[in-house]
Structure formats: structure tokens, C-alpha cells
Amino acid sequence: MLFSEASMKTSRVREDGLWIQVLRIWPEAPRRPALFLDRDGVINEDVGYLHRVDEVRLIPGAAEVIAEANRCGVPVVIVTNQGGIGLGYFGWEEFASVQKHLLALLHSRGAEVDAVFASPYHPRGRGNYAHPDHPTRKPRPGMLLAAEELLPIDLNASWMVGDHARDIEAGRNASLSGGVHVLTGHGSRDGQRETALSLAGEGFVVHAAASIAEAAEHLSILSKPT
Ligand SMILES: [Mg+2]
């Protein structure tokens, strides 16, 4: 049974430290492909541990691709590693402010995000947020699996767009159809593209794109309105 309570729309930090925010409820909707998006370096410019509202800048095409997913009935889910929280660089309050601003910017361009998941863990994190390989931190698939529990998502038919190879790897670990690696953010750094492309294999496709705008061409889930 999928959640349908209005209370789900408020954000919360789950017992295991995972930030969960379901912004759109899909009562009784059949399971369908979703578009999973990394945040920093895919939707907005990666300024390095983004935590200030005045540093939020959308990457060209991000709002348009999200709006297209909206039109196609494809849930859009942000899955973001926020190790800066675990490292003590900023807290959930700053994250929440940045999120609120980012979602408002997207909304002003006709783009709606269905849900947001954020993992605060980091191998060098502090206290409870120190973990060498937390199940919710990409490349582990925990955030995508949590999304499947709360939204009508068919993981096997879903796609991931990311600038880090570990984003694509998280998609593979969640048994998605495929991933699109982009060169914005960290995408062009130290072997990220090569590593991302090497993750392709049986049942998992990896495409290369310059940015989220170009990634849309590889996302067949955006071509059929439902
Ligand atoms: Mg990124």
C-alpha cells in the first residue's frame, strides 16, 4: 500500500538518517518508470557542498527535462548524497533552505519534483553520520529503494541521470534500465565518464551526454505520455 496521507508531503529525517520528502501523492496509480536525478552537478551547478540559497543556480535544461517528465506521467525523484552534513560543514536547516529555493525555482519554470531523498553519511563523517559505506549513500541503492516504497515506481523500467559514476552505479545496484552520465558538475573530472560507461552490462544501459538537456534524448521514458 502506497502512502496517501497529506502528512507525507512534509519532509522528515528517518530514523536511519535519511531525508525523505514526498511532494506529490499518487493515489492508486499503477507502477511506472521514474526519472531519478542526482542534484548537484545535474539539476543545479555544483559549487561544492552547496548550502547557501544565493549559490543555487539551475543548469540549463534541467527545468525543461523535469517538466517534460511531468507531462509524461513520469515521477521525478532527486537522490542526493549530502556528505557535507555528515562532515559537519552544514546542517539539515541549510539543506532545507536550499531545497526550498531550488524547488521554487523549478516550480517557477513549470517543473515539479515528486520526491527528494538525501543521505547525510560520509566515510569521514562525524558521530552517527560516519559510515564507510552506508546503504543510503550512493553507490549503494538505498535511496532508490526507499523511493520505490513510497511512490508507484517500477525500478526495472526507471532511469538515473548523474555526473558522478557512483550515481550511475547506484542506478545499476537498484536494477534500473539504465543511466545517463553528464559532463556538468564532476562529470568531466578524473575518469568519471570512463568509469560510468564501464558500468554498462547485461540489462543495464549507460549513455553519455553533455548535460541533462542532452540526456533527455536518451530517455525513452520521456517520449510516451501516460
Ligand atoms: Mg552530483
DSSP strand pairing (35-37 vs 205-209): unpaired
225: exposed, middle or buried (C-beta count within 10 Å: 0-12, 13-18, 19+)?
exposed
Over range 97-115, report the average pLDDT: 97
**From the CA of 180, how far away is ligand 1's center (Å)?**
12
pTM (predicted TM-score): 0.94
Hey, where are the domains in the chain? 6-24+31-222
168: exposed, middle or buried (C-beta count within 10 Å: 0-12, 13-18, 19+)?
buried
Over range 5-27, report the average pLDDT: 82
**From the CA of 76, how far away is ligand 1's center (Å)?**
16
Average of per-residue pLDDT values in the chain:
94
What's the CATH number for 6-24+31-222?
3.40.50.1000
pLDDT at 5 over 70: no
**From the CA of 196, how far away is ligand 1's center (Å)?**
13
Q: Report d(CA 157, CA 117) in Å as an integer.
A: 19
pLDDT (0 to 100) of residue 9 = 64
> Catalytic site residue 40?
yes
Q: Is-contact 62 42, C-beta < 8 A? A: yes
Selected catalytic residue, list 16, 38, 46, 114: 38
Instruction: Give residue-wise pLDDT tens across range 62-87.
Output: 999 999 999 999 999 999 999 999 99
